[in-house]
Structure 1
Amino acid sequence: MPHARINGQNLYFEDSGGSGLPVILGHGFLMDHEMFAPQVEVLAGEFRVITWDERGFGLTEFDGQPFSYWDSARDCLGLMDHLGLERAVVGGMSQGGYLSLRLALSAPERVLGLVLIDTQAAAEHDDKRAAYRQMLDAWAEHGPVDPLAQTIATIIIDEPAENARWIAKWRARPKALIREPGRCLLERDDISPRLSEITCPAIVIHGTRDSAIGMEAAQALADGLGGCDGVVAVDGAAHAANLTHPDQVNPPLQAFLRRLAAAQP
C-alpha cells in the first residue's frame, strides 16, 4: 500500500496517476480517503486525483502527538513534494477544507485552486463546542456505541446504508485514536480575517441540510474568497455532500477543474 513518511507520520495516499491537472482531496473528521470514491470514479479519467488519510484516520500511521490544521497543511505540502508536484488544486470536505485553506495561506504559490466542500474558515462555535466535546469524550471512553454512533453518523452522512458502513469502520479502530484529532478540531483557530489573502480560484460546495456547518458559514466563506463565484448548494445533503449526493457535486466540480486546466500554460 502506498505510504509516504512525512513530518513524522506515515501518510497513506492513493494516486490515480496520469498527466492531467493534479487534484488533492482531504477527507472530513472521522472519514478517510474512501469518502471521495464517487469523485475519483468520475474525475480520474481526466485529472490526476490524489486522496489521502490525515493524521488519526484511515490507513495513515499517526504518532499520536498534538497537532493543528497548520500541521496538516504541512503534511499535504509534504505529500505534494513526495509526488513531485510543484502546484496542485487542493481541497476537501470539512476538516479537509480547514487544512486546505491554511495551505493556501502558508504556501499560496503551490495552490492552483481550492475545492471547499461543507467547510468554513471560522473556529468552532461555542454553543457546539461543549456538546461535541462531550461526544468525543464518550467516544474515547466507550467507543462508538449506539446511540452515539448513530447520532454522529446522522450529523455527517444521514443516509442509512452509508451510516452503517462508516459506523462499522469506526468500530474497527482503537477508540482512543479520537483524542488528538478531536482536540485539533475543537481548538482550531479562526482564519476568517485572513480570507482576503487567498486569491486563487475557489469553488464552495455545501449541503442545504448540513447541521454541523450551516449555509450561512458557506456563504461567508464564499464572500471572503476573492476567487469564488458563490456557493454551489447541494439540495437535501447533510455534511458529507460529496459522498451522498455526487450527482449534484460532480458536475460543477468537474466544470471548475476543467476551467482551471484550460487556464494552465
Structure 2
Amino acid sequence: MPIADVNGQRLYYEDTGGTGPVIVFSHGLMMDHAMFAPQVDALRDRYRCITWDERGHGQTAVDQPAPFTYYDSADDLSALLDHLGIEQAILAGMSQGGFLSLRCALTHPEKVRALVLMDSQAGTELEEKIPAYQQLIGTFMEHGLTQQVGDTIAQIILGQDFENTESWKAKWREFTPANIANNFQTLATRDDVTDRLPEIHCPALIIHGEADIAIPMERARLMADKLPDAELVTVAGAGHAANLSHSQPVNQALEAFLSRL
C-alpha cells in the first residue's frame, strides 16, 4: 500500500506514474481519493495523476486525530510532492481540496504550476449554515449514519440523482466520531484568504456547478475576479461534486485548460 510518512502523517496516495505533467487531486470533506476516478481515467495516458487521502479521511485517518488547519494540509501536500521527487505540479482540488490547494499556492508557490478549483471558495462558511451543519454532525456522531443523515449529506455533496450514492454512504459509515468532529472543526474555523488571492499568479481554472447548494456560485465568481490569471467554467445542472455527477463537461473543461498550459 503506497504510504508517504511525511509531516507527522501517514498519507495514503495513488500514483499512475509516467513522465507527463503532474496533477495532484485533493478531495472534498467526507470524500477520499476515489472521487477523482473519472478524471484519472480520462487523463492517465497523458498526465501523471496523483490522488491522496487527506487528514481524517480514508486510509490516512487515525483513531486519535490531532487538531489541524488547511495550512497543515497544504504542508502535507507539499511534503507528498517532496516524497515523490516532484518539483512542481498542477493542483486540482474539490471543495476542501481547493481550500488546501489555495493555501499551498500561498505558502509553497514555487511548487504550483497551476490551480484547478472545483466547487470551492476562498472565504469561510456562511454563518447561517453553521447551526444546521452542527446539528447534522452532532446527530452523525451520536447515532451514526442514519437514513436521514446519510440522505442529507448525499444531497449536499452528491446531489439528488447520483447513481453511486450507496457506495459513498458505506464509506461514511466508517468515519469515527473523533474524525467527524475534528474534520468539521477544521472546516468551520478556517480563515478567509480572499484578500490574498491577488498573490497567486499561476494560471487557475475554476469549475463550479450552477446548482451547488454547499457553496454559492457567487463565491466562484469572486475567486475568478480576485485571482490574477483565472477563468471560470459553470457546469449546467451540476451540484457540489460536479466532477463526479457531471464528469464529461468537467473533464472537457479540464483538458482544454491543461492543453493551454
For the aligned pair, the TM-score class normalised by the smaller chain equals over 0.9
Q: Deviations over 1:6-57 (max 9, x none)?
A: 1211100000100000000100000000000000000010000000000011
Unaligned regions of 5+ residues in structure 2, if any?
none
**Match of residue 187 from structure 1:** 189
Match of 2:147, SS state, is coil
Q: Could you tell me how far 1:174 is from its partner in structure 2?
A: 2.6
Unaligned regions of 5+ residues in structure 1, if any?
261-265
Distance (Å, rounded) in 1 between the aligned partners of 2:15 and 2:247: 20
Distance (Å, rounded) in 2 between the aligned partners of 1:25 and 1:172: 22
Match of 2:60, SS state, is coil
Distance (Å, rounded) in 1 between the aligned partners of 2:151 and 2:9: 30
Distance (Å, rounded) in 2 between the aligned partners of 1:90 and 1:67: 20
Match of 1:236, SS state, is coil
Match of 1:98, SS state, is helix
Kindly provide the amino acid, as one letter, of the partner of residue 244 in structure 1: S
CA contact (8 A) 2:157 2:240 kept: yes
CA contact (8 A) 1:154 1:163 kept: no
**Match of residue 263 from structure 1:** none
**Match of residue 131 from structure 1:** 132
Distance (Å, rounded) in 1 between the aligned partners of 2:126 and 2:201: 26
Distance (Å, rounded) in 1 between the aligned partners of 2:174 and 2:165: 14
Kindly provide the amino acid, as one letter, of the partner of residue 4 in structure 1: A
Distance (Å, rounded) in 1 between the aligned partners of 2:118 and 2:58: 19
Distance (Å, rounded) in 2 between the aligned partners of 1:35 and 1:110: 24
CA contact (8 A) 1:206 1:233 kept: yes
Task: Find out whether 1:2 has 2:25 as its counterpart.
Answer: no
Q: Deviations over 1:64-100 (max 9, x none)?
A: 0000000000000000000001111112100000000
Q: Could you tell me how far 1:175 is from its partner in structure 2?
A: 3.6
For normalisation by structure 2, the TM-score amounts to 0.97
1:208 pairs with one of 196, 210, 219 = 210
Kindly provide the amino acid, as one letter, of the partner of residue 147 in structure 2: D
Q: Could you tell me how far 1:60 is from its partner in structure 2?
A: 0.9
**Match of residue 75 from structure 2:** 74
Distance (Å, rounded) in 2 between the aligned partners of 1:180 and 1:172: 15
Q: Could you tell me how far 1:160 is from its partner in structure 2?
A: 4.2
Distance (Å, rounded) in 1 between the aligned partners of 2:134 and 2:164: 24
Q: Runs in 1 of length 4+ with deviation above 6 angstroms?
A: none
Q: Deviations over 1:115-150 (max 9, x none)?
A: 100000001111111211111122122112120110
% identical equivalent positions: 51
Q: Could you tell me how far 1:162 is from its partner in structure 2?
A: 2.1
Kindly provide the amino acid, as one letter, of the partner of residue 210 in structure 1: D
Count of matched residue positions in the alignment of Structure 1 and Structure 2: 259
Distance (Å, rounded) in 2 between the aligned partners of 1:127 and 1:247: 33
Match of 1:19, SS state, is coil
CA contact (8 A) 1:18 1:48 kept: yes
Distance (Å, rounded) in 2 between the aligned partners of 1:242 and 1:251: 11
Kindly provide the amino acid, as one letter, of the partner of residue 240 in structure 1: A
Distance (Å, rounded) in 2 between the aligned partners of 1:61 and 1:124: 23
